Amino acid sequence: MKKLVMIGNGMAGVRSIEEILKRDPSRYEITIIGDEAHPNYNRIMLSNVLQGKTALDDITINDWSWYKVNNINLMTGEKVTSIDREAKSVTTEKGSEIPYDILIIATGSSSFILPLPGSDLDGVIGFRTIEDTEKMIEIAERKKKAVVIGGGLLGLEAARGLIDRGMDVHVIHLLPTLMEQQLDAPAARMLKKDLEKQGMKFKMEKQTAEILGETAVEGVRFNDGEELACDLVVMAVGIRPNAALAKACGLEVNRAIVVDDHMRTIDPAVYAVGECAEHRGMAYGLVAPLYEQGQALADALTGRESEGYQGSILSTQLKVAGCDLFSGGKIHEDDHTEAIVVQDAVAGVYKKILVEDNKITGIVLYGDASDGNRLFSMLKKGTDISEFTTAAVLQKAGETDDSALLAEMPADETVCGCNGVTKGTIVQSILEENLTTFDDVKKCTKAGGSCGKCRPMVEGLLSLTLGDGFDASAQTSGMCECTDLSRDEVVDQIKDKGLQSPMEVRYVLGFKNPEGCSKCRPALNYYMRMLRPTEYEDDKSSRFVNERMEGNIQKDGTFSVIPRMYGGVTSADDLIRMGEVAKKYHVPLVKVTGASRIGLYGVKKEDLPHVWEELGMRSGYAYSKSLRNVKSCVGSRYCRFGTQDSLGLGIKLEKELEMVDTPHKMKMGVTGCPRNCAEVLTKDFGVVCVENGYQLYIGGNGGTEVRECDYLKIVASEEEVVTYAKAYTQYYRETAIYGERTAPWVERLGIETIKTVLLDDEHRDYYVHRFSEARDTYQEAWGTALKKQDNKNLYQVIKI
């Protein structure tokens, strides 16, 4: 059996070994020598480790047992110092001498450290290895200010990770735009703007002259004399192929080790693969082409006929929260190309497709990169795009369904660009290996095992292949199918990491669908607004159609319009106005609702804005997840049994608690005496007026599963009723799962737990303050809307 020795235990080299084992597992006696003290790990996931999205243990590709199972002699923490090509052996720093018949050099690359004064100070780090990452995390625990030199892919990922670790971060970039190798100017500007919103700071067109400090980093000085204090400097200005061993033993080396299409050097017994290899004048630093090289190398070493490695067209995705981008091929137009450009500045979406001779030659996507893999596949294949429309960014007419697109996708089209896994490989593995979940597919094929952006496509293929045998619920145990994290875990991470937007949450926490789904989009929008009422701007597009249209959609596609009528009380003018609007717009049904309001049913969608404008009345929020209404009887104002003014208190509660979003709809009630005409004991919050005060009840439900309220306490004044209602609502807002009514919430938390919180003065005051803080933002938003409409009637209503 021939001896195969590989120097290097990184991604490209070990992938080559995996491919060799697939083709001919008994062909070689294999020894792998690595200078790091770890088994093979996913280097491109180090940014996720730094950002706190995953643990070091989770980025291991092949653990120790894999080497044993495959009879591989693994030597870790040992550096090769020389290669003797004549004797066909390598020597390590520990004096070991290992003979070979075939040698693979897979030494990768090292971070390029700018030769600046002070570059040898403690606190100057590259970003390439587990050790680099661990040192950055350790410094971030005790230091506060960092500088990242380099505004490229790696630099921005490092900066984001350090921000997540609590550091104040400046990115220093020599050029006027970020990621200039992957993005054009418009996309780069959008990227910079989004990163600045996340707290990243930039100094563009700056050149670092010196790193300041005596033994450790204290700051940096730029060529223009400006200085910036910092405790950590991360160099992210490029990589340098590790080719010194090859050069010392007489192999041809330019920028890297020169190889042919079969990854062979000038010595027929020596091969090179990965970042240390130069093929047709190109040295690659991205994982996809390196895996393609590994396949070509495996073919050559197992005697399989192939055309070898033909070079790669590069594509890039950024692993930074809230920044969804994809680029591939050319970036800038020239005299031979034309550009298809779609830009939505409001939504933060930019798409540019470069075309030459009816074929795609370049792609730049920002804000929505969901078309990236599809367009990149068309680019690599040279697809004629004559039949495609441009309005949807090169989508065939009628193609709107994701499953249809997956069904038509050719078997050889790449699904996982990081690991070079095709649709055909995934489908074949699902069928032959009885795979049923995403994790099964990832373990078997490695699809989705790197950046994870292909997960929706992988699960789409599972559904397409298994049909009724696909169990979507088995894919996750989390708050939705996009994540395994629970509601509490998501909310805790938002707090701990200071996340600022739903998109950032989905990216930082590794949601499999970067755009979210119908469950998590409205939920995250709610959680963000609940946690950050004064900072977060409501995302209307994440709300359900009822909330966007301010009316409940009916079964025939029309809507109901239900204005606010506090306590069911109205006026002659409002009644006349509702009648006139109903006649003008041919409203088929005008009805007194169960919540003591008047509803206009059957309003056409296109008439909704005009109906609301002409009514000049507040919405009754009959469609929303918030307080819908407070039902009350007339109480002591008119009823001979009434003990208190239940009508007035009901109106006061409704005015004090309206508008503020809650996890689900809420209904309250106030009854003037224990006869309970307002049916308050099945409300989310109920008040029973008695001679000596007001009895408070919580957690009732009058729906399909009736639940009677739990007694909370008795209070002496209306002001106390309002105080407890606010505290109760806010506590529910902050601890309930989005979509959970108060009845199951009370049962889940336990009535005694809720009582303990609400009856404690300090806790109650805290939640009242939090509720008032939130409500002020809704009032402000409503006031802004009023000014835009210049509607005096609406303005009078809001002045409560």
Following DSSP, what letter does each residue of 57-81 receive, concatenated? GGGBSS-HHHHHHTT-EEE-S--EE
Alpha carbon of residue 753 to chain centroid: 33
**Is 791 within 8 Å of 754 (Cβ atoms)?**
no
Give the DSSP H/E element, type plus range, for residue 168: strand 168-173
Cα separation, 278 vs 553, whole angstroms: 62
685: exposed, middle or buried (C-beta count within 10 Å: 0-12, 13-18, 19+)?
Answer: buried
The residues, ordered by sequence, that sit 6+ positions from 348 with a Cβ below 8 Å of its Cβ are: 190, 194, 366, 367
For the CA atoms of the chain, what is the radius of gyration?
Answer: 32
What number of other Cβ atoms are within 10 A of residue 562's Cβ?
Answer: 25
* Distance from C-alpha of 627 to C-alpha of 395, rounded to nearest angstrom: 43
Best CA proximity match to 240, nearest among 222, 228, 225, 254: 254
Cross-strand partners of 74? 32
**DSSP line for 609-640:** HHHHHHHT--B--TTSSBEEEEEE--GGGT-T
3-state secondary structure of 87: coil
Phi, psi for 342 (deg, rounded to 5): -125, 125
The annotation status of 454 as a binding-site residue, yes or no, is no
- DSSP label of 114: P
Distance spanning both ends of the chain, measured CA to CA: 89
- What is the CA 554 to chain-centroid distance, rounded? 33
Instruction: Tell me if 639 is assigned to a ligand binding site.
Output: yes
d(CA 572, CA 589): 20
- Pairing type for strands 552-553 and 559-561 reads antiparallel
Q: Is 249 labeled as ligand-binding?
A: no
Which one-letter DSSP state was computed for residue 43?
A: G
Q: How far is CA 466 from the centre of its chain?
A: 27
Give the closest residue to 623 by CA, choosing from 703, 553, 529.
553
* 633 among annotated binding-site residues: yes
Helix (H, G, I), strand (E, B) or coil at 208: strand
8 A C-beta contact, residue 371 and residue 351: yes
Asked whether the beta carbons of 33 and 17 are under 8 A apart, the reply is no
DSSP labels, 444-478: HH-TTSSS-TTHHHHHHHHHHHHGGG--GGGG--S
Q: Are 181 and 188 in contact (CB under 8 A)?
A: no
Residue 156 in contact with residue 164, Cβ under 8 Å?
A: no
**Which residues neighbour 650 within 8 Å (Cβ) at sequence distance 6 or greater?**
566, 567, 630, 631, 632, 668, 669, 670, 678
DSSP state for residue 323 in the 8-state scheme: B
Helical (H) or strand (E) element with 687? strand 685-690
Distance CA 500, CA 319 (A): 17
Annotated binding site for [4Fe-4S] cluster: 633, 639, 673, 677
* Binding annotation for siroheme: 677
Residues of the binding site:
633, 639, 673, 677
